[in-house]
Amino acid sequence: MNKSLACLKESISDLSNTYTTALLAYVFTLAGDVETRAHLLQHLDTVAVREGGFLYWSQTAAEKSASLSVEISSYVLLAKLSVSPTAEDLAYASGIMRWLTGQQNYYGGFSSTQNSLLCTNYT
């Protein structure tokens, strides 16, 4: 496990892929690596899309894939809230939750089974 985490840690020099960065933030959260988690979450905060009280992420500014944005935003939410969240973390997460709630379909699910499972993992 330690060798795997070390290999992943080496890959974080390139944070150009938002999906990978969000997934790594969640991985290092689960691994208990507070420093790497903080570094990744700080970077994700700089590329977040903020619109009218909503907070979400997309792969690139030109790409508007709702399904991918739901998945990325869900990983950021899980990384933020999986370790004793502070009041600041909860306030931050509320913007993500508001956006995710707006992405639900008429039946309460999301655009794919994977997204539905990932989003309901924390809600």
What is the secondary structure of 25-56 as a DSSP string?
HHHHHHHT-HHHHHHHHHHHHHH-EEETTEEE
Total domains in the fold of the chain:
1
CATH for 52: 1.50.10.20
Mutual angle of helices 34-47 and 18-31, in 10-degree steps:
150
**Beta-bridge partner residues of 5:** none
Domain that holds residue 54: 2-120
How far apart are the C-alpha atoms of 123 and 101, rounded to whole Å? Answer: 10
Name the phi and psi angles at 87, rounded to 5: -60, -35
Predicted TM-score (pTM) of this structure? 0.84
**Do you know the residue count of the chain?**
123
Averaged over 2-12, what is the pLDDT? Answer: 87
List, for residues 32-62, the tens digit of each pLDDT value: 999 999 999 999 999 999 999 999 998 875 5
Q: Give the model confidence (pLDDT) of 82-107 as tens digits.
A: 988 999 999 999 999 999 988 877 66
